[in-house]
Amino acid sequence: MYGNDFASPSDAPSASPEPVEPGLEDFWRIVGEDGRIEPRDAMPEDYRSSLVRQIAQHAHSEIIGMQPEGEWISRAPSLRRKAILMAKVQDEAGHGLYLYAAAETLGVDRAELLDMLHTGRQKYSSIFNYPTLTWADIGTIGWLVDGAAIVNQVPLCRCSYGPYARAMVRVCKEESFHQRQGFEALYTLSHGTPQQHEMAQDAVDRWWWPSLMMFGPHDSGPHATAGHTAKSMAWGVKRFSNDDLRQRFVDMTVPQAEALGLTLPDPDLRWNESRGHYDFGEIDFNELFEVIKGNGPCNAERMANRRRAHEEGAWVREAATAYAEKTAARRTAGAA
């Protein structure tokens, strides 16, 4: 559902250029030619560790992202909407698994990554720490949150690390359904009764700014050296700045809001003829950093649910292991 890599300003790495270490000539040549790095190639250690962090954070976001929407499966307004929502939440689980598999090609294992999530040493996208208060939130998440995720993720299909890029191709194909089902659900509400329209507008009012925050802090102009952007771009992992992607999202979304008959809660939002883009208001990044730090409305609940699901699922994993061992032992005995 989501892929961006940023940290709060305090843990931003320095973006100083590094000399080419011996043995990495092939790496830099391939990256320079816009080729793909594959798992067993030599690569800089910080390329590897930074990809592990980014892909794991992305994977964690997918599986935590099942929660806000999963809460509405039992309350979906029709069987049609329920089947759609179940398929979407199942896709999010699938996206998490594609991504964990991609991270594992870099020499970490799944259990280790889950442990990092459960102990708070790795993060997930802050967007999932907001609550889903009404059914309209489900449509809005599909439209805005998945919409923002697509803008972030499409360039990752061309990222320099082959397994990540291939996983993203699969993810992006499936995201398109996510966004369209959200738009359709919201369109239906917006064109329903006045109360339904109001519910749709309320959800959009709450999700608009957090969706813009999904692109991360400013990293162009005077902020160009902040965060991971400069390094990620040199490595061919990141292709566009957070600010460019955010602008692309705003430009795509404003006409869609008009089609929905809903307004976006920003008095400064207007077309700028000279720039050829929409101008929009200042984003409150303090809110983003507070949520990343753990002070969002749902951080504690999301983590508690995740740990509980993992612990309560332990017996299933143990039973499957025991069964596999038993049948393997039988096969060996039968063969003897």
Give me the residues that bind other proteins (CB under 8 A), please. Answer: 38, 40-42, 87, 90-91, 94, 97-98, 101-102, 104, 109-111, 114-115, 118, 166-167, 170, 174, 314, 317-318, 320-321, 323-324, 327-328
The runs of H, that is alpha helices, within the chain are: 25-32, 45-64, 66-70, 79-104, 110-118, 135-140, 146-153, 162-190, 194-213, 229-234, 242-260, 285-290, 299-312, 314-335
Query: Which CB sits closer to other proteins, 279 or 318?
Result: 318
User: Cβ 262 to other proteins, closest distance in Å?
Assistant: 30
Fill in the amino acid letter for 1: M
DSSP 268: T
Coil, helix or strand at residue 272: strand
Query: Which CB sits closer to other proteins, 44 or 94?
Result: 94
- Please, are residues 113 and 56 in contact by the beta-carbon 8 Å criterion? yes
User: Cβ 97 to other proteins, closest distance in Å?
Assistant: 6
- Give the C-alpha separation, 119 to 132, whole Å: 25
Query: Which CB sits closer to other proteins, 272 or 327?
Result: 327
- Give the C-alpha separation, 123 to 56, whole Å: 9
- Give the C-alpha separation, 29 to 42, whole Å: 12
User: Cβ 91 to other proteins, closest distance in Å?
Assistant: 7
- Give the C-alpha separation, 97 to 209, whole Å: 29
Query: Which CB sits closer to other proteins, 115 or 258?
Result: 115
User: Cβ 101 to other proteins, closest distance in Å?
Assistant: 5
User: Cβ 254 to other proteins, closest distance in Å?
Assistant: 31
Helices and strands in the chain: count of H runs, count of E runs: 14, 2
Query: Which CB sits closer to other proteins, 91 or 243?
Result: 91
User: Cβ 294 to other proteins, closest distance in Å?
Assistant: 21
Query: Which CB sits closer to other proteins, 54 or 132?
Result: 54
User: Cβ 188 to other proteins, closest distance in Å?
Assistant: 24
- Give the C-alpha separation, 242 to 133, whole Å: 28
Query: Which CB sits closer to other proteins, 83 or 320?
Result: 320
The two structure tokens encoding residue 93: 């689980």
Query: How many CA atoms lie less than 13 Å away from 276 in the CB half-sphere?
Result: 1
